[in-house]
Structure 1
Amino acid sequence: MAIVGARIDNRLLHGIVATSWAPDSGATRVMVIDDNVADDPQKKQAMKLGRPSGMAVSIISKQTALDNFKDHKYDRQKVFIISQTPDVFLDLLNQGEELNELVLGGTLTFDNAIKVTKRAYIKPEQEETYQAIINKGCKVISKYVPQDDSVDVAKVLRNKKAGA
């Protein structure tokens, strides 16, 4: 199994993901990991309308995703994962899944958040999670579209701690 792409995006599966990120990754399956959407049949059905051409789509809870990866359900697939929060990716890494790069895409703005780019923010309570992901050897970058220049999230966090 190969996780061929991983993205944090507050809109989850939407046009840019369906037409650029997922196809560019070579994925055969797009996986939305979000408890709220997975537990709401109406939201789930609406999100499935954004399915990238030629790819399977899974919209599942975090626990289902962890269980399915642990059970090797996706071993013969190339999976592109989207979630709204970094904890999903840290849990996958802690479970032993291989993840080389995580893209921080669009997020909502938050009070006291760390501004990574004009479209990406890190909540103060998420700092440790991002740092743990980086410490696991996963490069975390921020890009809205694949053509954007990469912003190194580890550098942003270091600069924040240094008071820059």
Structure 2
Amino acid sequence: MNSIFFRVDDRLIHGQVIEGWVKFLNATKIVVIDDKVTNDALQKLAMEIAVPSNIKVLITTVADSIGEIDSCLKKNEKTLALFSNLGDVVRTITLGLKIDSLNLGGLRFAKGKRLISETIFLDQEDAEILKKLLNLGIKINIQSTPSESFKNIQQILMEKF
């Protein structure tokens, strides 16, 4: 495993992440990249206490995430980096973050979005973002839990958008 596993999941830290992905990846650190959560003391506290004490948790802004991820790479920390939305992924890449692969775990229903997989709802804007990320050479798959087979987003986008 690359020492950083990037995942988009609008629930951020929850049971599947802690019991599934953290264990599967042998991650020692979770980095939540989300401006809103960084500035919400209650939500931040809830996430921090939901994680076992042997796992480090860092909740950071998009702007500060570049340095934090770089630090994890230099220390070779097995890290699960979580985004709540695709827009923040694009913002971090624009700021200089290098992402080779991206896991889509959960993007819930919202008005104007349609189901493309069991746990993923997208609208046209999301589809365009994913196409841009694919054009940058980023491998993108859909996989809610480590025990599921992953689905390649490229084929799904061709069929649905």
Measured against the shorter chain, the TM-score band is 0.7 to 0.9
User: Normalising by structure 1, what TM-score?
Assistant: 0.84
Which residue of structure 2 lines up, in the alignment, with residue 137 of structure 1? 137
Identity of aligned residues (%): 23
- Tell me, yes or no, if the aligned pair for 1:22 and 1:52 is still in contact at 8 Å: no
Deviation at 1:4, TM superposition (A): 2.5
Query: 1:36, 1:95 → 2: CA distance?
Result: 18
- Match of 2:145, SS? coil
Greater CA drift, 137-146 or 59-68:
59-68
Which residue of structure 1 lines up, in the alignment, with residue 155 of structure 2? 155
Deviation at 1:26, TM superposition (A): 3.0
Deviation at 1:155, TM superposition (A): 0.9
- Match of 1:111, SS? coil
Deviation at 1:50, TM superposition (A): 1.9
Deviation at 1:53, TM superposition (A): 5.2
Moved beyond 6 Å, runs of 4+ = none
Does the C-alpha gap of structure 1 residues 98 and 23 become closer, same or farther in structure 2, counting only changes over 3 Å?
farther
Q: Which of 59, 71, 74 is residue 73 of structure 1 equivalent to? A: 71
Deviation at 1:136, TM superposition (A): 1.6
Which residue of structure 2 lines up, in the alignment, with residue 24 of structure 1? 24
Give the letter for the 1:142 counterpart: I
Which residue of structure 2 lines up, in the alignment, with residue 108 of structure 1? 108
- Tell me, yes or no, if the aligned pair for 2:115 and 2:122 is still in contact at 8 Å: yes
- Tell me, yes or no, if the aligned pair for 1:115 and 1:121 is still in contact at 8 Å: yes
Does the C-alpha gap of structure 1 residues 53 and 19 become closer, same or farther in structure 2, counting only changes over 3 Å?
farther
Query: 2:123, 2:67 → 1: CA distance?
Result: 27
CA RMSD of aligned residues (A): 2.0
Query: 1:7, 1:26 → 2: CA distance?
Result: 15
User: Normalising by structure 2, what TM-score?
Assistant: 0.85
Query: 2:79, 2:90 → 1: CA distance?
Result: 16
- Tell me, yes or no, if the aligned pair for 1:37 and 1:43 is still in contact at 8 Å: yes
Q: Kindly provide the CA deviation profile for residues 17-50 of structure 1, in whole angstroms up to 9, marking residues without a partner as x.
A: 0111122123221011111111011110011112
Greater helix proportion:
2
Which residue of structure 2 lines up, in the alignment, with residue 13 of structure 1? 13
Give the letter for the 1:143 counterpart: Q
Deviation at 1:58, TM superposition (A): 0.5
Structure 2 unaligned spans of 5+:
none
- Tell me, yes or no, if the aligned pair for 1:104 and 1:140 is still in contact at 8 Å: yes
- Tell me, yes or no, if the aligned pair for 2:116 and 2:160 is still in contact at 8 Å: no
Does the C-alpha gap of structure 1 residues 15 and 89 become closer, same or farther in structure 2, counting only changes over 3 Å?
same
Q: Kindly provide the CA deviation profile for residues 109-148 of structure 1, in whole angstroms up to 9, marking residues without a partner as x.
A: 1333242212111222122211111112211111111111
Give the letter for the 2:154 counterpart: A
Greater CA drift, 132-141 or 98-107:
98-107
Give the count of matched residue pairs.
158
